[in-house]
Amino acid sequence: MRRGSRPRRDARGFTYIGVLALIVLIGIFLAAAGQVTQTAMKHQREDDLLWAGRQYRDAIGRFAQHYRRFPRTLSELTGPGSSSADAAADNQPVNADPVMFRALRRLYRDPMTHAADWATIPAPDGSIMGVASLSTGVPLKVAGFDDGEEDFEKAETYADWKFVYVPGIKKPRPAVSKLNP
């Protein structure tokens, strides 16, 4: 081809097809990256659910050891004054405990439903001895749970992960911190 002459007629559409193919490949890679990101976020929410559920189970245990009974509501775990309706129903002053006892710093949201509502697992007397998620999603994690959580491996939904405090059973826990930046 000489300088200043026009390209040949059969080469005109080649660049256009190449650009279209590149756009399709970029779209496929972005879709794959979105799936990976979504799976990673679900794994993180599962870890958060395990952490929050264990916090509730441990708090129910601390509450039961301190008061020699299970809490009637989850808000009782955050200390006296947080459940003034319960104290009034028992004709007790809200701050009847001379020392402020808090089994749980605050009530945690369910990471799977993003709501503060948990399914409560009743004790024989009708109080609360455990919690579970209300999510019907299928867990990605199926192995590698802590001691005492072996039933989680058979769970079909997150609602089957039941975090129950059973008096007299001390569950060894690894020293893991929930300090994510």
Residues 99-126: tens digit of each pLDDT: 678 999 999 999 999 998 999 999 999 9
Residue 112 lies in a domain: yes
pTM (global) more than 0.75: no
Kindly state the average pLDDT of the residues 59-68. 93
Residue 90 lies inside a defined structural domain of this protein = no
Query: What pLDDT score was predicted for residue 4?
Result: 63
User: Taking residues 71-76, what's their average pLDDT?
Assistant: 93
Paired with 119 in beta bridges are: 132
> Residue 178 falls within a domain, yes or no?
no
Best-predicted range by mean pLDDT (32-36, 79-83, 85-89, 128-132)? 128-132
16 in helix, strand or coil?
Answer: helix
Q: What is the pLDDT of residue 84?
A: 43
- Burial of 103: CB neighbours in 10 Å, binned 0-12, 13-18, 19+: buried
Q: According to the model, what pLDDT value does residue 3 have?
A: 66
**Domain extent for 55:** 12-68+108-164
Q: What percent of the chain has pLDDT over 70?
A: 76
Instruction: Please report whether residue 102 resides in a domain.
Output: no
pLDDT digits (tens, 9 = 90+) for 2-21: 666 665 666 667 888 888 99
89 located within any domain: no
Least confident interval from 43-57, 76-90, 114-128, 147-161: 76-90
Q: How many Å apart are CA 150 and CA 152, to the nearest integer?
A: 5
pLDDT value of residue 73: 93
Tokens of 98: 């001379």
The pLDDT, as a whole number, for residue 11 is: 61
> Is position 92 within any domain?
no
CA-to-CA distance for 94 and 85, rounded, in angstroms?
Answer: 9
24 within a domain of the structure (yes/no): yes
Under 8 Å between Cβ of 127 and 70: yes
Per-residue pLDDT, averaged over 145-169, amounts to 89
How far apart, in whole angstroms, are the C-alpha atoms of residue 124 and residue 128? 9
Q: Based on the structure, what is the number of domains in the chain? A: 1
First to last CA, the chain: 61
Q: What is the pLDDT of residue 80?
A: 73
Residue 74 in any domain: the answer is no
Position 90 scores a pLDDT of 45
